[in-house]
Each structure stands twice: as structure tokens, then as C-alpha cells.
Structure 1
Amino acid sequence: MSWEKMKLNDVCISISDGDHQPPPKANKGVPFVTISNITNTNQFDFSNTMFVPQEYYDGLDSKRKVQEGDVLYSVVGSFGIPVYIKHNTPFVFQRHIAILRPNVYKIAPPFLYYTMLNRDFYLKADAAAIGAAQRTVSLTALRNMEIEIPHIETQKKIAKILSSYDNLIDNNQKQIKLLEEAAQRLYKEWFVALRFPGYENVKIVDGVPEGWELKPLSDIFKYVRGKSYTSKEIVELGGTLMVNLKNIKPFGSYNRNAEKRFDGNYKDSQKLNAGDLIMGVTDMTQERRLVGHIAIVPDMGETMIFSMDLIKLVPLSVKKSFIYATMYFGGYSKKISPLANGVNVLHLKPEAMMNMKMLIPTEEVIEQYDKIFEVYQKQIEVLQKQCDFATEARDRLLPKLMSGEREVWA
């Protein structure tokens, strides 16, 4: 089976990027995404985006409007992340993201995506990246990058094999989202609408059910600071898994595959266990997307610690599930995030939030919610582990298929 070397520019109709000027913002309209909206499954998460006016989108050049079959590629800062566009969903982005429109007569669009997902391509991008603070892969460099491609029918066959893993991951992610939504609906039904079990027999005084109590956060949990580190202590292989700020998704929940590996000393208190709660205490975004927001640490199958950008919340008198649900589903984190301050980087002093009050239901109601929440969490963990196994299997197979080591005949 023969493979031909070609430049990306020779297999694409166009290679462009997003607008170089900040777009006008709007309360509704067309979603505006950044690199931070790319999930660990190489898709865009539109749940917490900003918006631009429809007129702005309509005025964009057609090569900057995504369409089905395009491949987007991060080129500034966190460069090297490809996203395959499966649907004609309008959204906009800036120059930090490149957009490649494949020539379908030369390259199968999903094959281009998997080529750019392969580590060999990332190493080429890494070698071509320029700059220090914000390393950038220029469009010129991207256009001139060489890839190897087989016959178009073989490309389609390879893409079909690899996409079978991604389809499993996508289906599991959809089920995970449904479970998270179920937990959120239950929280709002019980603790916002106040239709918790037995509510009909509970007296409401000044809008608060009898037996419920406003408590300061200092009575609900204590916090532990994370490990400070230097770049020399971060390693590619070995060391200890370090959960860091990138593991917090915008506005909360856990972002997998963003961990670092740390080679150094740390305290026992800076270890993490599956199910622990972490909160971001710094933020590079002025929108306060990370600071004050919370996540549940998953089971990673090895020793974990956490970085100084995070704190660990250790419950004192209330179940972890209720603290998490109130912070994430109930929007309590958005009350904490304004306490952070700074010019370029926002910093939250944890002690500043500890006098804030949280409404705590009776122990009986919290116990009932916890039991249901834990059922959802266990199902989510099973589905997520299946995703992890599928990702590992795909990533082992990917370089073998892309190098021709594992032959596939059209």
C-alpha cells in the first residue's frame, strides 16, 4: 500500500483562522467559542459560551464559517488540538483557532482529523511553533506541514475504524450528560422549588423550611492548599499525577486528561482521593470561568496530588454531594468568584469566602439526596471509564494505522 507525501495546503480548499479583532458581544445570537470550550473528547462545549450578533456572523468570509467536514485546530497557546465538525452548527472564533476545509477528492475529512490528532503531527506543530509566552503555529507553517496519505478509499476505511471508538465515546458522553442533568433537576426540585420528600408537612418560615439553617462555610468545610511547583518539577513520564487548574471546566465540573506529572516532594494533605472536591482559586479569564468553581475528582487509578491553583474542600458537617450540588447546580460558586481580584490574573483568598452563609437542609433530606446522587455518580464513573478505555485503545491504534504499520486495504 503506497502512501504519498503532501502539504496540507495541497489537500485543503482553504486554511484560514478566526477574526483577528475581538468580536462584538451580545446577550444572545451566535455562540462565540475559545480554546477553553474544547472538551477532552475534542469537541466544542457550547453550554457556557458567550455570543455575538447574527449580523456579525453574516458578515464573515465563508472560509471562516464552519461547515460539516471542516477540521478546526488550535494554533495559539494551547496549540495542537483538532476538532472535527460533524454538523452545520454556526459559531465563531478568533485567530487562536485555524479552520481547514479539506478537498474531499484528495483527503477524507475524518482522515485529516485523525492525522492531526496523531502525536507525530503534534510534534511537527511543536517544532514549528514560535514565541515564548504564547507559542503560535502560524498559518504559513500549518499550510506547509507535510502529511502522508494513502488512496482515498483506504483513508475512509482507516477513519471508519477509528471513528468506531469515538462513536462509543460520544454515546457515553451523551449518557453522562443526561445523568448530570437528572442530578441537577433533582437538586432544583428539592432545594430551589422546595419540593423535597415530605415538604407538604413542613412549615415554611420566611421562605425557609422549618429545620433548615443558614451556616457559615467555615462550619460546613475546611480547605487545604495545593502544592506549589516549578517547571523543572514537571515531567513527561513518571512522577505523581498532579491535578491542576486546567482540570476545572469553565463554571465547574471535572475536565479529564489535563493533569500534569510532578516529580518532587509533597505533603500527605495535598494528596487527592476519588470523590474529593476541588475548587479553582486563580483564573486567567476575566469572565471568572474557573475561580470559585468546583469539581469532583474521578478515580484515576493512581496516587494524585493537586496544585497551588486549587484548594481541596474537606467536609465537616455536610455531605460532599450537597456541597458540590449547591456550588455547581445551585450557582453558589458564582457568588464566590466575585471575591477574586487581580489585574491580569485573578486570585481568590479562600479565607475571604469562609464567612459566607449556605442554606443547609435537615440531615434526613441531605441523606436522601446523597443516596440518589451517588447512584448517578457511580453510573457516570462506569461510563467515563469505558470512555477512557476506548480512548486508550484508539490512541494505541492511531499511530499504527497512520504510519501504515497496521495495513488496511480499501
Structure 2
Amino acid sequence: MSWEKVKLGEVTESCLGKMLDQKKNKGSYKPYLANVNVRWGFFDLDNLQEMRFEDDEDEKYGIKYGDLIICEGGEPGRCAIWKEQIPNMKIQKALHRVRVHDIMDFRFVYYWFLLAGKQGALKQYYTGATIMHMPGQKLKEVLIDKPPLIVQQRIGAYLETFDNLIENNQKQIKLLEEAAQRLYKEWFVDLRFPGYENCKIVDGVPVEWKKKKLDEIADVIMGQSPKSEFYNKEHKGLPFHQGVGSYGARFVQDDTYSTSFTKVAEANSILFSVRAPVGRLNITKNKIVIGRGIAAINSKSGFQSYLFYALKERFFKDDILGNGAIFASISKNELLNQVFVIPDAKIMSAYEKIAAALDKKIEVVDMQLQQLVEARDRLLPKLMNGEIEV
């Protein structure tokens, strides 16, 4: 099916966000989105920063429901639809705000960018020899499809049903994880574990509990990135992961592969981010090669769920804006020397049983989430190319 082609600048209004300049910026501190906060299809709001905005800048740098927020650098073109997740949000200069005219459906434009990003069709609009960017003028020149508005709306609504289900699964994972984390805090931070009323406390911990360094209770492998010639996307070697993300699924998904097995994490290892934001956690279902941004951690006693939530409690705090990390980076020695309170075997086993059951539910929901992503991605090119009508 042949659809009209138009330049993005003909059917949208766009602008860059505000330059971060602590000396020149005036006004009151307000949260803003940076490049790192924008993922494909959603926003990672765990680590928001603030800068000064004046009242008359609200319209210029503010964003509204339905705006597309598009990365200018990093991975130029990566974008998501803003749906008022947080009121009065602003954007930093590394991002474009794109507001569509009424002849376009903002969901259709987003899915066009998602497909173009997957197919590499946006690279022709990049500038820069080593660090890629998509400046405002190049963004306006992006040539997109413009089917009739009713067709755009149908495609956008159909694909959005998948993304709504994906988002619901993400929320379920978060709620299940929060339940295990609350129980960890109640038992091992507030010391309200079963039988605490009859337990003697010495130096702030129950008398039968111990304080141990991480290297006493866990095996830790620090990642090391292979040379670039070992990378591929053709499923040669083992999956390779450079960093840990908190955006979306709890379990890491395979993308790039490596034929160099410099540092390997076994299946079901905890993946721990050693770079900002330190303490992000994922779990790998498969054996993978890990890069310099990751440490693979496994409990020596088999209490993997306890260890996961102990690490999360230590490194991510609710009283820091957006659940931010308390370290910018952490060395191997600093990580290995972290001291944790280890309860007696009975209490540890009781917690592990509950937390592991919650983690099993998380794994099931995560599997459903990935199936939804795969189904949407199979349909995406067929709908956006007019091969399938809705």
C-alpha cells in the first residue's frame, strides 16, 4: 500500500530542551528529563535530576500529554510518548519535544520511529563522526509515512493495546518486588522478624546473627569488556551485556553476542551495576559475557533471593530522589568489603522461601511481558507498511 510521505517538520512542532548551566540558570528547581531517562516506549524515572527553571520557561521547555520526547544524542531518535507520568515535567537540551499537528496521530508517529529505529532507517539523519547526534534541522527533515488519519488512529490504538499490557506487566513486577523488599526491611532492618520479641539484641543485631563481608557470603565476578571485533548480533558465541538497566523487564534480554569469553556470568546470576547509577539489579536466565559495567554475584549458600534484596536495600534508597544510587561508581574492593547482616539459618530460610516464591511469580510475569513484546514487534512492520489493515 502506498502512503503519502511528508517531512516531520511539516506535520509537527519541535524544540530542544534547556541547556544545563548552573551559573546562568535562574528560577526554582524542578525535575527534568535527560537523555538517559528516555527509553524506547517508556521513561526511566528512577534517577531524575533537577535544575532551575523560570516561570516563563514552562511553556518553552514543558511537556504535555501526547508529546514525543526524542533523543538528540546517545541513540538519536530513541523516543517515548509522554503521558503525564509526573506533572510539570521539563526537558534538558539533549532531548527534542515533538508535538504533532491534528492531521497526525502521536501514537502512529511514535511507532513509525520505533520501526525506523529497529531497521536503522534513522541513521541517514545523524551527524558527527564518532558521537552521533540528530540536530533539530535534521529531525525536521525525517521523511515519514502519512496515511489517512483514521488509519493512523487504528494502527496506533492497536499497537497501544500491546504496550498497555506490557506496562501492566511491568507494574506487576514492580509490586511483587516491592512486597519482597518491604518484608526484607521489616525483618532485617527494622528487626521485626518472627520471634523478635524473645530475641536478645547485641550491638544492634540479634545475638545469633553475624556481620559478614560480601566476599564471605557471595562469589563475585567483575566484568571486562571484550574488544569490539568480538561483538556480533548473529548469535555467535554467548550473549554480551555491558550494563544493567531498570527499564522494563527484570530479567536481561539477549541482544549483542560475543565470541570472547573473558568474563562469564552463569545462568541465574545477579547482575549488579558498578557504574552510575550503582546498584541497579537484573538477573540473567542464560550464561552471558559481562562487560566492565557489571558484576555477577551468586550466594555461596544458595540464598539468592535474600542476597538480591540485601543488595537492593544497601544500594538504592527510597529517600533519594527517584530511588537514585548512593554511589557514582564502586570498585571491586569496595564492593567485596561491603558488610551485611546475616541472620540465623532458620530466619534466613523462612525469608528465602517467601522471597523466592515472589521471584518465581516475577519470572512468570516477565515471560508474559517478553511474549507481548515479541508479538508487537512481529506485527509492527506489517502494520506500518500497510501489509495488514486494521
Instruction: Give unpaired runs (5+ residues) of structure 1.
Output: 341-345
Using structure 2 for the length normalisation, give the TM-score: 0.88
Matches within 5 A, 1:123-142: 123-142=120-139
What's the Cα RMSD here? Answer: 2.9
Using structure 1 for the length normalisation, give the TM-score: 0.84
Contact 1:280 1:311 in 2 (8 A): yes
Matches within 5 A, 1:91-110: 91-104=89-102, 106-110=103-107
1:237: Cα distance to partner? 2.2
1:391: Cα distance to partner? 0.9
1:354: Cα distance to partner? 2.7
For the residues of structure 1 that align with 2:31 and 2:240, how far apart are their CA atoms?
29
- What are the Cα deviations for residues 243-285 of structure 1, in whole angstroms up to 9, with x where unaligned? 43432439xx95745x542342326x71430x2112233x3xx
For the residues of structure 1 that align with 2:98 and 2:299, how far apart are their CA atoms?
48
1:272 maps onto 2:266 in alignment: yes
2:72 equivalent among 72, 75, 98: 75
1:143 maps onto 2:136 in alignment: no
Letter of the structure 1 residue corresponding to residue 51 of structure 2: V
Contact 1:220 1:316 in 2 (8 A): yes
1:297: Cα distance to partner? 1.4
Contact 1:241 1:305 in 2 (8 A): yes
For the residues of structure 2 that align with 1:330 and 1:309, how far apart are their CA atoms?
18
For the residues of structure 2 that align with 1:121 and 1:148, how far apart are their CA atoms?
16
Alignment-derived partner of residue 218 in structure 2: 221
Alignment-derived partner of residue 313 in structure 1: 297
For the residues of structure 1 that align with 2:191 and 2:281, how far apart are their CA atoms?
25
For the residues of structure 1 that align with 2:238 and 2:81, how far apart are their CA atoms?
29
SS at structure 1 position matched to 2:157: helix
| Distance change (3 Å), C-alpha of 1:8 and 1:148 | same
Matches within 5 A, 1:136-285: 136-249=133-246, 254=250, 256-257=252-253, 259-266=254-261, 270-273=264-267, 275-281=268-274, 283=275
| Distance change (3 Å), C-alpha of 1:389 and 1:360 | same
| Distance change (3 Å), C-alpha of 1:332 and 1:165 | closer
For the residues of structure 2 that align with 1:256 and 1:29, how far apart are their CA atoms?
35
1:67: Cα distance to partner? 0.3
Contact 2:37 2:43 in 1 (8 A): yes
Number of residue pairs the alignment of both structures matches? 381
- What are the Cα deviations for residues 190-226 of structure 1, in whole angstroms up to 9, with x where unaligned? 1111101111111112321121111122211232233
1:339: Cα distance to partner? 8.0
Letter of the structure 1 residue corresponding to residue 212 of structure 2: K
1:404 maps onto 2:383 in alignment: no
2:83 equivalent among 69, 80, 86: 86
- What are the Cα deviations for residues 17-38 of structure 1, in whole angstroms up to 9, with x where unaligned? 1112346899x95322222223
For the residues of structure 2 that align with 1:210 and 1:35, how far apart are their CA atoms?
48
1:392 equivalent among 368, 374, 380: 374
| Distance change (3 Å), C-alpha of 1:364 and 1:113 | same
1:366 equivalent among 340, 344, 348: 348
Instruction: Give unpaired runs (5+ residues) of structure 2.
Output: none
